[in-house]
Amino acid sequence: AFTPRVFSGIKPSGGLTLGNYLGAIKRWVDMQSPDMDNIYCAVDLHAITVWQDPPALKAGTREIAAGLLASGIDPENSILFNQSQVPEHAQLAWIFNCVARVGWMNRMTQFKDKAGKNAEKASLGLYAYPSLMAADILMYHATHVPVGEDQKQHVELTRDIAAKFNSDFGVDFFPQTEAVIEGPGTRVMNLRDGTKKMSKSGDSDMERINMLDDADTIAKKFKKAKTDPDGLPETVEGLAGRPEAKNLVDIYASLSDMTPEAVIAQYPGASWGTFKPALADLAVTKLAPISDEMKRLMDDPAEIDRKLARGAQKAREIATPILEKTYDIVGL
Ligand code: ADP
Ligand code: NA
């Protein structure tokens, strides 16, 4: 049996979005417990699978750290660090590259989405991304990984890698990690195209809410969000087949810790002209204190770097013996 341990990461490849907050960060904060290790990470090695401007990448890593701290990740009781500062991740990823099969990688839908039609021109790192993610998780023998729905397939692959490693070498060394994907915020959609997830990279700024957006910008973006001519339904069943409407109700529910049913019950049959400003007010109420604190923290990059360095040190205390044991099992 493996002791419960939580791990998760976010790529520093652009500003944090409401999708990152509701799908990941908010739940990481809630899962913090003094009774177990909570390990949270800015995954900069993942970010460079596509081109990153070097100074922007460094700033992005600090912004992630500031976002996590401002949202309530407590660096005294959780481990908060930057992936590249713990070289064991890359070392374990190489071993997993030799355990995972090419056919498994070929089935990863996120690679297909991100590489697009020109997969030949994608980096080898983008292709091997899930193997590095498995290393991030298994580096700590993490048992639970809170993520958004888009990461489900990668966590399943992590389980496959763990199982194959254990069976190849006749050991019970890596756990079967569970993805924790719960609540209405696990798939926040793009505000202008309800069929795409909201993302910090790729889409235009009007399509997403950034954690650093000011109140006016948030209000404007929700006002311009795509909706259908009908307003809110009388019951949640009325959201079926209406992705844009469902998205706005889900965002409201996730921000307020309510169920979508309770949100609908509060605004039965409301017009968008009523609901969108209420949603914008709610988002500002929740995000403004976080973005204010983020800005304050980002004014002192050296202090963020110190916190990340301390976190990396704590992470390595767990990672080093696990990597040593892995090498020994493999015969290295
Ligand atoms: P992005 O797609 O914004 O670059 P990452 O790949 O860094 O985000 O993902 C960081 C975490 O945020 C993951 O757990 C991911 O599942 C979650 N996440 C990202 N976008 C969304 C979204 N639109 N809705 C819910 N969760 C999301
Ligand atoms: Na903890």
What does DSSP assign to residue 10? Answer: E
* CA-closest candidate to residue 315, choices 30, 43, 33: 43
- Token pair of 9, please? 């990461």
CB atoms within 10 A of CB 160: 16
CA separation for the pair 242, 329 (Å, rounded): 52
Per-residue pLDDT of the chain (332 residues; tens, 9 = 90+): 899 999 999 999 989 999 999 999 999 999 999 999 999 999 999 999 999 999 999 999 999 999 999 999 999 999 999 999 999 999 999 999 999 999 999 999 999 999 988 899 999 999 999 999 999 999 999 999 999 999 999 999 999 999 999 999 999 999 999 999 999 999 999 999 988 999 987 678 999 999 999 999 999 999 999 999 999 999 999 999 999 999 999 999 999 999 999 999 999 999 999 999 999 999 999 999 999 999 999 999 999 999 999 999 999 999 999 999 999 999 99
What ligand is nearest to the CA atom of residue 29?
Answer: 2
Q: Which pLDDT belongs to residue 204?
A: 86
Question: Which residue among 16, 20, 196 has the greatest number of ligand 1 atoms within 8 angstroms of its CB, and so is best to mutate?
Answer: 20
Residue nearest to atom 12 of ligand 1 (CA): 20
User: How far separated are the first and last CA of the chain, in Å rounded?
Assistant: 26
- 226 catalytically annotated: no
* Contact 26 CB / ligand 1 (< 6 Å): no
* Residue 199, ligand 1, Cβ within 6 A: yes
Pocket test for ligand 1, best of 50, 150, 151 (most atoms within 8 A of CB): 150
Domains of the chain: 5-180+300-330 (3.40.50.620), 205-295 (1.10.240.10)
Contacts of 249 (CB under 8 A, 6+ apart): 184, 232, 236, 239, 260, 263, 264
| Closest residue by Cα to residue 211 from 8, 9, 34, 25 | 25
Instruction: Report helix, strand or coil for 227.
Output: coil
Copy the structure tokens of residue 231. Answer: 């307003």
Known catalytic membership, residue 307: no
Using the structure block, give the residue that is written with the tokens 């990941």: 24
Measured in Å, residue 21 CA sits from the centre of ligand 1 at 8
pLDDT of residue 201: 76
pLDDT of res. 14: 87
Report DSSP state, residue 42.
E
Structure-block tokens of residue 248? 């706005």
- Which one of the ligands is nearest to 247 CA? 1
Enclosing H/E stretch for 286: helix 272-298
